[in-house]
Amino acid sequence: GVSRSSMEKNITLDSATRIELSCRLDSRYSHLKHLQVTWKRGNETIRHINKTENSWSIQLRILDNSKLGSYSCTLKGKEEISALFHLQVPKIEGKEKPIISYEGDTAVMVCKSFGYTPIAWTWYMTNGSELIAINDSLLADKYVINRLSANITHLKILKLIKEDDGVYWCEAAFELGKSIGKLKLKVLSLMVPLRPFLAIMAEVVVLVTIVFLYEMYSKKKEKCA
């Protein structure tokens, strides 16, 4: 890095493992001497174990999600250089844009985990501020959950009604913790696509009525003449 800069790196872990985090000073900064090196997990200072001429590292045994989070090393001398490591469970990919469907139709929502296999998937629907797990075995006529592969899950909602509109969540469970994805469903009334057509029809009816009344008026005027 350079003076007063911070380098960041994301490290994805799905199962228990041993890991070594290392900060190595670039050769451009080999002139820096008597550096004070500090490792931290969040705001808690931890001791680095291994040290070479221009490298400082720590070894971690990650058994559960309590050891996940942000770790940083800071090198202080005439200049200050730091690096930040983010240890996290795999992220879930949902759909950023809302899924739009109509009343009576079927909506399908998809969540994926790339490169990592979840132990289990769970779908939730939002009820106010609460998340309610969707049990498709109890509501088979409304929900169908398909796990097409170990890394992909589908939620199918049948016979959409306006009340199905809202936010849904898919949760993937890994050995080191859980990751959640967010999806939005927008349910439109069947009248929505008909509104432009009805508006045009209304204009046509008004125009035809005006023409008819004008012709009636013209004929009546001719008779009076």
Q: What is the CATH number of the domain that holds 180?
A: 2.60.40.10
- Do 98 and 158 reside in the same domain of the chain? yes
Residues 151, 174, single domain; the answer is: yes
**Whole-angstrom distance, CA of residue 157 vs CA of residue 152:** 17
Q: Which two tokens stand for residue 19?
A: 């890991």
Whole-model pTM: value is: 0.72
221 domain residue, yes or no: no
> Parallel, antiparallel, or unpaired: how do β-strands 166-174 and 120-127 relate?
antiparallel
One domain, residues 57 and 127: no
**Range of the structural domain that residue 177 is part of:** 92-188
Residues 12 and 62 in one domain: yes
Residues 64 and 99 in one domain: no
Handedness of CA 147, 141, 127, 132 (dihedral sign): negative
Q: In which band, very low, low, confident or very high, does the pLDDT at 222 lie, cut at 50, 70 and 90?
A: low
146-203 per-position pLDDT tens digit: 877 889 999 999 999 999 999 999 999 999 999 999 999 999 987 655 566 556 766 7
And the tokens for 70?
């942000």
> What's the one-letter identity of residue 136?
D
